Chain A
Amino acid sequence: MKKLFILISALFLTTNVNAETLRILAEAGDEATLTKAAAQFEEANPGVTVEASYLGWDDFMATIKLKLADSNPPDLAHGNQGFTVDGTLIQNDLIIPLDKYADQYGWKNLFADGSLAEFSWSEDGSNWGSGTLYGISPVAEDVIVYYNKDKLSSLGLSVPTNFSEFESALATAESAGELPIILGGADGWPIIHVWGLIEGAFVDPSQTRNWIFDAKGNDYATSSRIQAAEKLEEMAKAGYFGSDSLGIGYDDANAMFIDGDGLFNLTGTWMTAQLNEGMGDNVGAFAMPRSTSGVAGGGSFALPWHISSKSSNPDLAAKFIAHLMSNDFVDDLMQVGRVPAQSPTIDPTSNLQAEVISASNALVSSNAKTFYTDWATPGMYDTVTQELQKLLGGAASAQDFIDAMAAESMN
């Protein structure tokens, strides 16, 4: 009798597991990562099917709130740091807190204290930067400096160790007739990354992070930030971005860099695989040195994973996130060309990946990442891209830029 009971209940449990499908909606950049993770997860959890679908960046960002507000949303989905997406999702109770799972799987111990602030919110979604954990990601994205190795050595230069060395490298390249910095400014957002590095060189990173979490409550027009804006204006006037940067798109700029245009390319670590493929050993990378000491730069974790509040099995969704966050998966992330937020155990797959990881580690260990300016307010993306274009195109001064940004901070 007892045996029969066990048999029946075992049968019952297996069929229960069999019925399990985990539905995921992700931004298309994560397809390679998820394909790998899904196969491993299905193998480790017999009976579970992972159903992932993908949308390109613009489509994803335009529809993710509606998808999660739907009556039958995906169990697991990307969000985006900031008030526009994550804040709205929390305000409408569309995603659940992850603190319970973070404790269960030990996510908080993986990183330095305060590192997960970008995923932390008050429970009503009105305050950002501390409180309850609502998302997590295993991937780091840093804005760093890529450089053309042949050009740097033929100009008689070495990798700059402070900001004034970086500046003199720009001047040397300019006078030798080389384009100092390739920039796809027509798209607007790539200039945010350039600004993040210049801002990071002068402004204390924690000051910038506090402003992004609470733009209204923190002064934007500080003396160090004005200094950074004046430096960017000076660089633009000196022709360090060339005369055509506002007419070149981001993809074209990267293609031109691969073809040998530009000494430096100031962009994010998501470009590592593509640049490595195009340039091989001729491309290197370093974290932007600050004007005083140390390094700084824009960047953050990659897009956060959220669990839908309507998910029928949030524990399974959390288990999948735990798989992505696990130490075993770090090396898989490396293999698909992403920069893991945790230190990898295998050797880098290329010289560039080694330099990128050491730049990333330098930023993480000094807590010097400053996120992205456009996270600060819902209207900030427009304001900062437009004002940076004006600054680079000579249609506005550093002071105009600071004024416009300070005004948008109040919105």
Chain B
Amino acid sequence: MINHRPHKIEYYSNYLYILPAFLFYIIFVLYPLSDTIITSFTEWSGIGEKKWVGLENYKKNLADKKITSSIKHSFILIIFYSFFPIIIGLGIAGIMVRVKVRGIAIYRAILFLPQILSMIVVGIAWRWIYAPKGPLNSGLDFFGLDDISRAWLGSFDYALPFVGLIGTWVMFGFTMILFIAGVQKIPSELYDAAKVDGAGAFAEFFNVTLPGLKGEIIVALVFTVTLALRNFDLIYITTGGGPGTSTMIPSMFIYKKAFQMNQVGSASSLGVMLTLLIFTLISLIIITLREKNET
């Protein structure tokens, strides 16, 4: 007979190790999450009694044109927060594979810098850069482009793309580091073989570098798309959703409903909807790209 007892003790004690972390997870993630979901079915001013209203908050959100158009803005921001940084990051990684630059670590550190700054700092700095008499307009004026210069963040046409460009600036350092690290794990024989076959820079990039970075691209997409959709601080600091509603995004509505309009139930339902949207989109990205990877 083998005595199972010591094994069992070991087995249970493993759970003890994760207990502290799991308690934190329950208190700070699972409890707020379930409370938000429950609140999303109620009408609640933030204090006092919650009144059960079923799916009413969800129906109202879907019927609110301001909210649905704010989701459109989020999808435009995905282009700036996700697609542009990935393209720029891939470009830099592709160049660094072929060209050996002296002091490369310094350039990498500088290009990565925006990533470690607080979004509040970034927002305030760019608000100044884009200001009517800020450096961007002064630069344009210096080159005689006075006709182009304007209050960028106060323009109904330009505010959204110009906030988006801040996102590009913040995110490309992250994608770049990710891709440079990824390139280094691609076997150098592949590059040698490509050279033997007479591949030029572009052929080498599309046939060796890009397929080799598929895993990193998925990670970059998941991370940057999530940020584009849940982003709040950058918009709050730079435009507050304006001018008009031209840069409004769902997370701004969540804040406004919960803290300005006494509609915590409605804010919660919008939070749940945004979480579901992010979850669906991320699942789609992972499923489509991973399957292609396996074939």
CB contacts (< 8 Å) of A69 on chain B: these are 47-48
CB contacts (< 8 Å) of B47 on chain A: these are 65-66, 69, 88, 92, 94
Q: Does B50 sit within 8 A of A, measured CB to CB?
A: no
A248/B242 contact (C-beta < 8 A), A69-B47, A379-B261 known: no
Q: Are B154 and A88 in contact (CB under 8 A)?
A: no
Closest to B127 in A: A249
Q: Are A84 and B262 in contact (CB under 8 A)?
A: yes
Q: Does B36 sit within 8 A of A, measured CB to CB?
A: no
C-alpha spacing A378/B151, complex, angstroms: 30
Cβ 8 A contact of A245, one of B48, B154, B261, B262:
B154
Q: Does A332 sit within 8 A of B, measured CB to CB?
A: no
CB contacts (< 8 Å) of A396 on chain B: these are 244
CB contacts (< 8 Å) of B281 on chain A: these are none
Q: Does A381 sit within 8 A of B, measured CB to CB?
A: yes
CB distance from A259 to the nearest CB of B (A): 11
Q: Are A378 and B242 in contact (CB under 8 A)?
A: no
C-alpha spacing A185/B130, complex, angstroms: 15
Q: Does A252 sit within 8 A of B, measured CB to CB?
A: yes
Q: Are A66 and B46 in contact (CB under 8 A)?
A: yes
Q: Are B153 and A247 in contact (CB under 8 A)?
A: yes
CB-contacts of A58-116 with B (<8 A): 61-62, 65-66, 69, 83-84, 88, 91-92, 94
CB contacts (< 8 Å) of A94 on chain B: these are 47
Q: Does B31 sit within 8 A of A, measured CB to CB?
A: no
Q: Are B261 and A84 in contact (CB under 8 A)?
A: yes
Q: Are B240 and A188 in contact (CB under 8 A)?
A: yes
A382/B150 contact (C-beta < 8 A), A244-B132, A247-B130 known: no
CB contacts (< 8 Å) of A382 on chain B: these are 256, 260-261
Closest to B258 in A: A62
CB contacts (< 8 Å) of B245 on chain A: these are 386
Cβ 8 A contact of A395, one of B127, B130, B153, B243:
B243
Q: Are A386 and B242 in contact (CB under 8 A)?
A: yes
Q: Are A248 and B151 in contact (CB under 8 A)?
A: yes
Q: Does A233 sit within 8 A of B, measured CB to CB?
A: no
Q: Does A387 sit within 8 A of B, measured CB to CB?
A: yes
Cβ 8 A contact of A244, one of B150, B156, B263:
B150
CB-contacts of A347-400 with B (<8 A): 378-379, 381-382, 385-387, 389-390, 393, 395-396
Residue of B46, B152, B239, B242 ringed by the most chain A CB atoms within 10 A? B242
CB contacts (< 8 Å) of B154 on chain A: these are 185-186, 244-248, 393
Q: Does B52 sit within 8 A of A, measured CB to CB?
A: no
CB-contacts of B37-79 with A (<8 A): 45-48
Q: Are B46 and A378 in contact (CB under 8 A)?
A: no
Cβ 8 A contact of A243, one of B45, B151, B240:
B151
CB contacts (< 8 Å) of B240 on chain A: these are 186-188
CB distance from A92 to the nearest CB of B (A): 5
Closest to B128 in A: A252
A188/B242 contact (C-beta < 8 A), A247-B155, A393-B156 known: yes
Interface flags, B140-156, vs A, CB<8A=1, else 0: 00000000001111111
Cβ 8 A contact of B153, one of A61, A186, A385:
A186
CB contacts (< 8 Å) of A244 on chain B: these are 132, 150-151, 154
CB distance from B57 to the nearest CB of A (A): 15
Q: Does B206 sit within 8 A of A, measured CB to CB?
A: no
CB contacts (< 8 Å) of A395 on chain B: these are 156, 243-244, 246
A248/B131 contact (C-beta < 8 A), A88-B262, A186-B154 known: yes
CB contacts (< 8 Å) of B241 on chain A: these are 386
CB contacts (< 8 Å) of A249 on chain B: these are 127
CB contacts (< 8 Å) of A245 on chain B: these are 151, 154
Q: Does B259 sit within 8 A of A, measured CB to CB?
A: yes
Closest to B134 in A: A247
Q: Are A386 and B244 in contact (CB under 8 A)?
A: yes
Q: Are B132 and A390 in contact (CB under 8 A)?
A: no
CB distance from B106 to the nearest CB of A (A): 35
CB contacts (< 8 Å) of B155 on chain A: these are 246-247, 393
Q: Are B239 and A186 in contact (CB under 8 A)?
A: yes
CB-contacts of B105-138 with A (<8 A): 127, 130-132
C-alpha spacing A389/B246, complex, angstroms: 10
C-alpha spacing A91/B130, complex, angstroms: 44
Interface flags, A155-196, vs B, CB<8A=1, else 0: 000000000000000000000000000000111100000000
CB contacts (< 8 Å) of B152 on chain A: these are 247
CB distance from B79 to the nearest CB of A (A): 23
Q: Are B244 and A248 in contact (CB under 8 A)?
A: no
CB contacts (< 8 Å) of A379 on chain B: these are 261
CB contacts (< 8 Å) of B46 on chain A: these are 65-66, 88
Closest to A378 in B: B261
CB distance from B81 to the nearest CB of A (A): 22
13 A-B residue contacts at CB 8 Å? A61-B260, A69-B48, A186-B239, A186-B240, A186-B243, A243-B151, A244-B154, A245-B151, A245-B154, A246-B151, A248-B151, A389-B243, A393-B154
Known interface pairs A246-B151, A378-B261, A390-B243; 20 further A-B residue pairs with C-beta atoms within 8 A, sorted by A's residue number: A61-B260, A84-B262, A88-B46, A92-B47, A186-B151, A243-B151, A244-B150, A246-B154, A246-B242, A247-B131, A247-B152, A248-B151, A248-B154, A385-B242, A386-B242, A390-B244, A393-B154, A393-B243, A395-B243, A395-B244
The 8 closest A-B pairs by CB, nearest first: A247-B151, A247-B154, A246-B154, A244-B132, A244-B151, A390-B244, A389-B243, A69-B47
